[in-house]
């Protein structure tokens, strides 16, 4: 690996400055490029931010990497910070925004279901677009990076049109659907790019620490968004102003994510070339990849079970347990706190035990969490649930993403990812519709119990259809 240049020191100006010894500073100094530069506005020296980050990333590499590869990892890291901040401002609050317009549980289920349906429909066109154009980074930037974020900007404008509540709910549903479609249109290209961007020998530590910083952003800004929504509504006497402010901030921070992702030098990544689709290529590749189809089947069941209850946790928290938006933000942030602790441990565990082991070890207790909601009578108890949930989900998400990279074949990866995501999102269409119907006609508690049972079933399918074939293959390779 090329040695990194040390952070530049600011030269003193004037004769008096030349005689003084150098001393350390406790702030980010402005960059000096000439004797009159002190007359210019203050500017943060990028080197004082970049150098510590590059040093951290370098320590994750157990094999040499070039300076360009290091820069790409840095930009991808910064992209994750801004992307998680953007999500924190809207992800938990779109159902509550619809609830402010008087949406029913079934309507909230439709908002989630339509978003998931459009997300599923976007995946194969996204993979095909990547194959036709040969573009990965640009496809991500101009679809998931720009158009998806514009949908949030227009969502913030909905109250300005003073439309009837029914029309506003339709607008929320449509814009959320557009956001989901464009985000998932970019997903195959994003996954294919990331598989080349992050070397396999450092994926566990890199993604665990990247997810750690993203979790810290989620922790801070989810709570901030909840406070802004509650306070903004109180300041103005409007039930919508706080949501507008949060969605607009989501749009702005999303632009930061788009900027840093656009800085990645795709030409330096590799060796792997995006090929035109060859009929039958995906089918042959999947047959020769043990565990992949089982991974898809278990993921479909898992996400169906998740989405039976997922859109309704915060609705239940507000309507049945008496929480407000600030409380929702606070208890959501609790999971981010423990998620940070989880990220600090899970990457090392995965490197030692493997992604399959980590997925099962976290999937079983995650299945218990929704069932516990049946016993809660106050918002603080949800916070206790999220203490464990944040820690466990940190490991599960890390394992699941690495399994996706590990099990999808190099040939036809974009379509293999699209097949996986299509199955996941198709299941996530049916889940909210069933959950919304059950919540309206039976009870919220029933949806939570069914979600837990479904997660247990999915974990068993994963162990049977993915973990067992991979273990059998490993034994055969060891005895060969």
**400 phi and psi angles, rounded to 5 deg:** -65, -45
The answer to which of 199-213, 293-307, 358-372 has the lowest mean pLDDT is 199-213
Here the tokens at position 7 are: 């952070």
Report the range out of 259-268, 273-282, 301-310 with the highest average pLDDT: 301-310
pLDDT tens, position by position, 244-273: 999 999 999 999 999 999 999 988 775 444
Q: What is the largest CA-CA distance in the chain?
A: 82
Residue 156 has pLDDT above 60, yes or no: yes
- Please determine, for residue 33, whether its predicted confidence score (pLDDT) is greater than 90: no
Give the count of alpha carbons within 13 A of 318, CB side only.
Answer: 22
- Rounded to an integer, what is the distance from CA 40 to the centroid of its chain? 39
Phi, psi of 44, rounded to the nearest 5 degrees: -75, 135
Angle at 59 between CA 53 and CA 60, to 5 degrees: 95
Tens digits of residue pLDDT in 37-68: 555 555 555 666 676 776 777 776 667 778 88
What pLDDT, on the 0 to 100 scale, is given for residue 97?
96
Instruction: Check whether 386 has a pLDDT greater than 60.
Output: yes
How far is the C-alpha of 204 from the C-alpha of 219, rounded, in Å?
Answer: 22
In whole angstroms, what separates CA 137 from the centre of its chain?
Answer: 17
Q: Cα torsion for 406, 452, 107, 230, to the nearest 10°? A: -90
What pLDDT, on the 0 to 100 scale, is given for residue 17? Answer: 41
DSSP, res 201: G
- Answer whether residue 8 shows pLDDT above 70: no
The DSSP result for 440-469, as a single string, is: HHT-HHHHHHHHHHHHHHHHHHHIIIIIHH
The string of DSSP letters for 29-53 reads PBP--STTGGGSPP-B-THHHHHHH
Which of these ranges, 78-82, 175-179, 281-285, has the smallest mean pLDDT? 281-285
pLDDT tier at 14, thresholds 50, 70, 90? very low
Mean pLDDT of the chain: 84
Residue 198: is its pLDDT beyond 50?
A: yes
Residue 5, pLDDT above cutoff 80: no
Task: Indicate whether 15 pLDDT > 60.
Answer: no
More confident of the two residues 319 and 288: 319
User: Residue range 69-87: average pLDDT?
Assistant: 92
Residue 457, C-beta contacts closer than 8 angstroms, at least 6 positions apart: 301, 305
pLDDT score recorded for residue 28: 45
Predicted confidence (pLDDT) at residue 209 exceeds the cutoff of 90: no
Convert the pLDDT of each residue in 313-370 to its tens digit.
Answer: 999 999 999 998 889 988 888 888 888 888 778 877 887 888 899 999 999 999 999 9
Terminal Cα distance for the chain, rounded: 35
- Among the residue ranges 136-145, 180-189, 335-344, 449-458, the one predicted with the least confidence is 335-344
∠ CA 202-208-211 to the nearest 5 degrees?
Answer: 130
Q: What is the pLDDT of residue 286?
A: 64
Contact 456, 334 (CB under 8 A): no
409: DSSP letter: -
- pLDDT of 472 reads 80
């Amino acid at each position: 690996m090329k040695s990194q240049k040390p952070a530049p020191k600011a030269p003193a100006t004037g004769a008096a400055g030349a005689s003084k010894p150098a001393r350390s500073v406790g702030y980010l100094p402005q960059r000096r490029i000439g004797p009159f530069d002190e007359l210019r506005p203050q500017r943060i020296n990028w080197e004082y931010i970049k150098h510590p980050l590059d040093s951290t990333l370098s320590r994750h590499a157990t094999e040499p990497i070039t300076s360009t590869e290091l820069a790409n990892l840095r930009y991808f890291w910064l992209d994750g910070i801004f992307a998680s901040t953007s999500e924190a401002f809207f992800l938990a609050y779109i159902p509550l925004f619809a609830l402010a317009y008087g949406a029913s549980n079934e309507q909230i289920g439709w908002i989630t279901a339509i978003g998931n349906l459009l997300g599923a429909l976007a995946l194969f066109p996204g993979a095909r677009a990547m194959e036709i154009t040969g573009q990965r980074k640009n496809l991500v930037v101009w679809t998931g990076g720009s158009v998806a974020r514009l949908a949030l900007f227009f969502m913030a404008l909905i109250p300005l049109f003073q439309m009837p509540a029914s029309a506003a709910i339709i607008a929320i549903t449509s814009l959320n659907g557009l956001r989901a479609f464009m985000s998932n249109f970019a997903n195959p290209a994003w996954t294919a790019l990331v598989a080349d961007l992050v070397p396999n020998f450092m994926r566990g530590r890199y993604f665990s620490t990247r997810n750690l910083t993203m979790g810290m952003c989620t922790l801070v800004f989810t709570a901030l968004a909840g406070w802004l929504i509650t306070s903004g509504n109180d300041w103005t006497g409007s039930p919508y102003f706080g949501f507008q402010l949060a969605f607009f901030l989501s749009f702005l921070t999303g632009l930061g994510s788009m900027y840093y992702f656009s800085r990645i030098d795709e030409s330096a990544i590799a060796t792997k070339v995006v090929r035109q689709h060859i009929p039958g290529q995906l089918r042959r590749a999947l047959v020769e990849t043990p565990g992949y189809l089982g991974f898809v089947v278990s993921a479909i069941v898992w996400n169906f079970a998740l989405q039976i209850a997922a859109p309704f946790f915060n609705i239940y928290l507000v309507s049945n347990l008496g929480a407000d938006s600030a409380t929702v933000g606070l208890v959501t942030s609790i999971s981010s706190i423990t998620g940070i602790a989880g990220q600090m441990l899970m990457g090392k565990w995965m490197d030692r035990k493997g992604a399959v082991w980590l997925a099962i070890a976290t999937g079983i207790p995650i299945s218990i969490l929704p069932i516990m909601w049946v016993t809660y009578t106050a918002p603080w108890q949800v916070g206790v649930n999220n203490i464990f949930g944040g820690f466990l989900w940190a490991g599960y998400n890390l394992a699941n993403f690495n399994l996706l990279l590990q099990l999808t074949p190099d040939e036809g990866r974009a379509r293999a990812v699209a097949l996986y995501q299509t199955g996941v999102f198709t299941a996530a269409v049916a889940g909210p519709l069933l959950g919304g119907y059950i919540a309206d006609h039976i009870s919220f508690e029933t949806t939570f119990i069914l979600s837990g049972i479904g997660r247990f079933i999915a974990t068993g399918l994963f162990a049977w259809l993915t973990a067992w074939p991979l273990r059998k293959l490993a034994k055969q390779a060891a005895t060969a």
